[in-house]
Each structure stands twice: as C-alpha cells, then as structure tokens.
Amino acid sequence: MAVRAVDANGLSFEVVEAGAGDHLALCLHGYPELAFSWRHQIPLLAAMGYRVWAPNQRGYGASSRPEGVDAYRIDRLVADVAALFDASGAKTLTLIGHDWGGVIAWSFAIHRIRPLDRMVIMNMPHPRCFARALRFWPQQRRSWYLQAYQTPELPERMLLSNEGAALRRMFARRAVDLSKFPDEIVDVYVRAALQPGAMTAMLNWYRAAPLNPRPRWLPNGGSVDVPTLIIWGDEDSALGLETLERTDEFVPDLTIRHLPGVSHWVQQEAPEAVNAILREWMPGGAAR
C-alpha cells in the first residue's frame, strides 16, 4: 500500500492506494474514522485484481478541509467521489462504503452519478428505510447525537477535551470485541481529530445534513439499479436492525449478510468474516 495526494473537485485528497488495473474499488470511510479503517480489506481487494483507493474524505486526515457547513452538503461529498473516479482514469467503478461512506455510496447510486459495477454497504441503511425507522422511538433514541451535533462549538469541546477522551470512549462503547481497538489503533483516529479544524470539519457533515434533500424527494423513488451487498454487524448500537426492513423495495438485486455479535465497526471488528463475504460476492477486478 502507498499513500498519495490526488487533486479532485478542487480539493486535495490523501489516498491510500494498492493494486492496479482499470477496475477501481473506492472505499469510503465513516465517522470518526479514516481510510485506515479499510486496512484489512485493501490487501484483499488488490489481490482480487482491483485497483483500490481509500481516500481520507474532505475534512479528514491530510485531505482538504474547506470551511463552512455548506461545504459538507451531500452533493459536494458525492461530487468528490465522482471526481476521484475521474482522476483515477479507471474504466469501471465499485463503491464500498461504511457509515457516512455508505450514505455517500447510496446517494451516488440513486442519482446515477457514474455507472457502477457493484456496490457494498456496511452498516448504513438505505436513506428511505432510515427515514422510515426514524419516525419511531427506538431509532430516535439511538440517533440522539444527530441533534446534539447541530450545536456550534460545544460538541468539539466535549469530544476533544482531555486529549480526545470522549472519542476514545466512542469506539469502546460501540465495540463488542474491544481487543480489536487497542490504544495504538484508536490513537490513529484521535490524533487525526485533534489536528486544527479537523473535528469541526467532521461534525460539519452532520450539520449539513438538514440542508440535504429529504429522502422522499430522491430521484427514481430512491431505486438502486446495481447489484448491492449489505454487510451488517447486528450489534450496532447506533442503527437498529429495523432500518434494514423493506430495503428490497428500493434495491431489486440485493444481498444482505448479517454478522451476529459484531458492532457498528464491522470491517475492523470482524475483518476475517467481512473479507470472506467480499471474496464470495465480488467477482474480482478483471471480471465485467
């Protein structure tokens, strides 16, 4: 694996790269993570014949941090992905997204920004399914932080105080297998969040969410016309299993694989199981 800077959509992105070829597997991380969260999947995908790019998305790591909430609206985030694909020169695209990376992947596929070969989503429901679940108390209770993050400045102070102690607790409280998150792993994320302006940029993804179009206004009724795999850690404390219900109404070619006893941090906590599913479901970079 190598790290390079890629200019796309008027920004600079820090990208972890592996493999070669014309089929790009673009791995999109979530909050409060980094491209580092894909460290177990990148070698597998490269060995399967994909060229793999895992960018630190806007606001994260050494990638550009534009100022202001408006810079983190979903259309800007999706445009980053399109521009990264264009910059790669690849001919074929597979998107793999976790958490917020999954939000972007869903939107990219629904709006048909570029042709997709396949899509893999990890622990992030289809936007219309999530909106439906959010009408009820169980998911409202799990999603309390969505409103809390709208407050200016206070969440940054809370999360960054005491050298990021609250961020450390976030990984611990959401994890099932704490052995997968020793201090040296969590340190990578905390050090990145402590960089000037980083935490505000990361939270601006949430602050921009109310500015995004409502799910019921999605084009094509929110339908996805590419084969889609959902890998789901069933012990997700932020997203209930009910958020998956009736996903097949929007995704005709859908495969769901559940991982019991695994948390929201699915690709880091259960890398062997996740990689086995990817190996089975994905055809390989040379296949079309």
Catalytic residues: 99, 206, 264
Sign of CA dihedral 57, 61, 65, 68: positive
Peptide bond connecting 32 to the previous residue in cis, omega within 30 degrees of 0: yes
User: Is the CB of residue 99 less than 8 Å from the CB of residue 57?
Assistant: no
Q: Left, alpha or beta for 164 (phi > 0: left; psi -120 to 50: alpha)?
A: left
Sheet of strand 254-259, all strands in order from the earlier edge strand to the far edge = 2-8, 11-18, 51-55, 23-28, 92-98, 118-122, 228-233, 254-259
In 10 A of CB 82, how many CB atoms? 16
Give the whole-angstrom CA distance, residue 242 versus residue 38.
Answer: 26
Nearest Cα residue to 281 out of 251, 248, 244, 253: 253
* Spatial distance between the Cα atoms of 212 and 28, rounded to a whole number of angstroms: 19
